Structure 1
Amino acid sequence: MIKGIISDMDGVVYRGKQLIPGAQAFVKRLLDAQTPFLFLTNNAEQTPLDLKLKLQQLGIPGLTEDNFITSAMATAMFLKQQKAHATVFVVGGGGLINELYNVGFSISESHPDYVVVSKTTSFSFEQLKKAVRLIDGGAKFIGTNPDMIDPIEGGHEPAAGTLLAAISAATGKQPYIVGKPNALMMMLAARKLGLHPEEALMVGDRMDTDIVGGMEAGMKTALVLSGVTTQDMIDDFPYRPDYVFQNVGEISLEGL
């Protein structure tokens, strides 16, 4: 029995600065029914407060910071379990840096334990050179998420996976990626809700991250066609979602 919802954001609730049809009604139903839910996003650029305020400005009130978990949060939690008080070199924005500071890490370019990479609009050739040099020098290579593109109004833009690919090509090393489709992030989300994975429904717009990650964590999965994956693309994958909807407005726990 499905008792709670874990939902992606980009391509599910909004695209860039535009709310996706049905999203407002979907969240209102969850709040009115007091259904446990969590927005899980591979976006490492923004904090839970940023995301709460963004949804509020888009017309979705009533949320708290506890309704969100980002790949930056999951990455910080994972690295803290691996090595407390580590040093890191960051290719990423304020959201990622803030979460790493929150778990007691120091930001350093001098023999860091980790090079942590996420999407950032300020990516430069100088950052690429530093990341390559540090990884070649022994720093562990970590990625917040593997997404090659992110949906925006009118199309797509490069995401974290594009930066990871450049660094990987230069170093010959592959990153360990904490965010979706790693089932670790899904398990952290279910634990935050106080649910067993089989009691949660993972909602997302990507077959290669949301759906496979939810499936591997033992959750039911629902694909919405409002983001990256289209109906025609589903058959390209060796696994299928449990449900397919045009958008989240069509999802009702009573109908699952």
Structure 2
Amino acid sequence: MSERKAIESWLTDMDGVLVHEGVPVPGAPEFVAKMQQSGKPFLILTNNSIYTPRDLQARLSRMGIEVPERAIWTSALATAQFLADQRPDGTAYVIGEAGLTTALHAVGYVLTDYAPDYVVLGETRTYSFEAITKAIRLINGGARFICTNPDVTGPSNAGDLPAAGSVAAMISKATGVDPYFVGKPNPMMMRSALNTIEAHSESTAMIGDRMDTDVLCGLEAGLQTILVLTGISTRAETERYPYRPSRIVDSVADLIDEL
């Protein structure tokens, strides 16, 4: 294999890498602080489209992880950017929460249920049968179908919850139309993040806890990939995949000295 360039910028997943079940991963506050001190560009990524970057900044701050709002990149922001590039000043019927609606408003989109250009499905804790029915009828009427991320379940204190990917499957079954997923593992999520911090793929590393999203997405975008074992994937599970991360470490605490 050819020798990789030195890492000049960083992308890191949030849940399972910096925080786990509502508490910071040991070493994560120090890792993020060192990233900022290094002066190298970085972004914290999440497929969760519920929250705005400001919401997530406050959540991380309560856990002792201090980052600027601009250092957080969500699937909602990536989706809004994608739609603004594809069809500027368009219209959308949205199933989602503030993270998604705020991002779409910011790029000039009008949210409507009257002949929208797109149906955009994101995460919400209160999926409405009425809203899903409306989405099905609008797609059948010609609206294009976009989903922020393909995750089929999401975590909660009581256990897994159905997530956007599961609801998208139901809508697809009813319409015969598959959505375009913008979030991980679509490498577009990575490319939009790279563009945001003006970074180059050859000198950027992606840190994640999932082989099927973080590592796959980073690999397909041409990044170095680092799997941490503080979230979903285990070291043994990596052998089941036809691709491998560039490295496996126990946690981001092992990367502090490299910054």
Question: What range is the shorter-chain TM-score in?
Answer: over 0.9
**Kept after mapping to 1: 8 A contact 2:17/2:251:** yes
Q: 1:203 to 1:43 in 2, by over 3 A?
A: same
Measured in 1, the distance between the counterparts of 2:29 and 2:19 equals: 10
Give matches, 1:1-256, under 5 Å: 1-61=6-66, 63-152=67-156, 156-252=160-256, 254=258
Give the alignment's TM-score, normalised by structure 1: 0.94
- Give, in angstroms, the shift of residue 245 of structure 1: 1.6
Measured in 1, the distance between the counterparts of 2:163 and 2:246 equals: 27
RMSD: 1.6
Q: Deviations over 1:41-91 (max 9, x none)?
A: 111111111111111111112x21111111101101110111112111111
Q: 1:240 to 1:253 in 2, by over 3 A?
A: farther
Q: Percent identity?
A: 45
- Give, in angstroms, the shift of residue 31 of structure 1: 2.0
Q: 1:151 to 1:22 in 2, by over 3 A?
A: farther
**Kept after mapping to 2: 8 A contact 1:197/1:219:** yes
- Give, in angstroms, the shift of residue 154 of structure 1: 7.5
Please tell me the residue identity of whatever aligns with 1:227: G
**Kept after mapping to 2: 8 A contact 1:10/1:151:** no
Please tell me the residue identity of whatever aligns with 2:10: I
Stretches of 4+ aligned residues off by more than 6 angstroms: none
- Give, in angstroms, the shift of residue 241 of structure 1: 0.4
Measured in 1, the distance between the counterparts of 2:154 and 2:30 equals: 24
Please tell me the residue identity of whatever aligns with 2:43: L
SS at match of 1:241: coil
Q: 1:76 to 1:12 in 2, by over 3 A?
A: same
Unpaired stretches in structure 1, ≥5 consecutive residues: none
Q: Deviations over 1:134-159 (max 9, x none)?
A: 11111000010111223455854332
Give the alignment's TM-score, normalised by structure 2: 0.93
Q: 1:2 to 1:24 in 2, by over 3 A?
A: same
- Give, in angstroms, the shift of residue 17 of structure 1: 2.2
Q: Deviations over 1:86-125 (max 9, x none)?
A: 1111111111000001111111111111000011011021
Q: Which moved more, 1:216-225 or 1:242-251?
A: 242-251
Unpaired stretches in structure 2, ≥5 consecutive residues: 1-5
SS at match of 1:251: helix
